[in-house]
Structure 1
Amino acid sequence: MSDEMPKTCQKLRPKSTYAGKQGFNYFAGVARETTGAQGICMHMLRIPPGGRAKAHLHESHETAIYVLEGSAIMYWGDQLEHLMETNAGDMIYIPAGVPHLPINTGTVEAVAVIARTDPHEQESVKLLPDLDNLVPQ
Structure 2
Amino acid sequence: MHDIGDGHTHHPEPHDHDDRPDGAAAARWKHDGVRVIPGDRLDPNTAQTPGMFRQAAVNAARVGAQKIWAGTVAIEPDAKTGVHHHGALESVIYIVSGRARMRWGERLEYVAEAGPGDFIFVPPYVPHQEINASTDAPLHCVLVRSDNEAVVVNLPDVEAAERPETVYWIDPIHRQP
TM exceeding 0.5: yes
Larger radius of gyration: 2
The aligned runs of 1:66-105 (5 Å cut-off) are: 66-105=94-133
User: Structure 2: how far apart are the matches of 1:24 and 1:134?
Assistant: 19
Give distance in 2, aligned partners of 1:17 and 1:109.
21
More divergent stretch after superposition (74-83 vs 6-15): 6-15
Residue number among 49, 54, 58 corresponding to 2:77 in the alignment: 49
TM-score normalized by the length of structure 2: 0.63
Amino acid at match of 2:133: T
Residue identity in the other structure for 1:86? A
Q: Which residue of 2 aligns with 1:125?
A: 152
Give the aligned CA root-mean-square deviation in angstroms.
2.3
Identity %: 31
Residue 109 of structure 1: which of 131, 138, 141 is its match?
Answer: 138
Indicate the structure whose relative CO is greater, using CA pairs within 8 Å and at least 6 residues apart.
1
8 Å CA contact 2:129–2:160 kept in 1: the answer is no
Q: Which has the higher strand share?
A: 1
Contact 1:75–1:84, Cα closer than 8 Å, also in 2: yes
Q: Which runs of 5+ in 1 are unaligned?
A: 1-5
Q: Which runs of 5+ in 2 are unaligned?
A: 1-30, 164-177
- Over 3 Å counting, the alpha-carbon distance change for 1:88 and 1:50 in structure 2 is same
C-alpha displacement at 1:136, in angstroms? 2.6
Q: Which residue of 1 aligns with 2:93?
A: 65
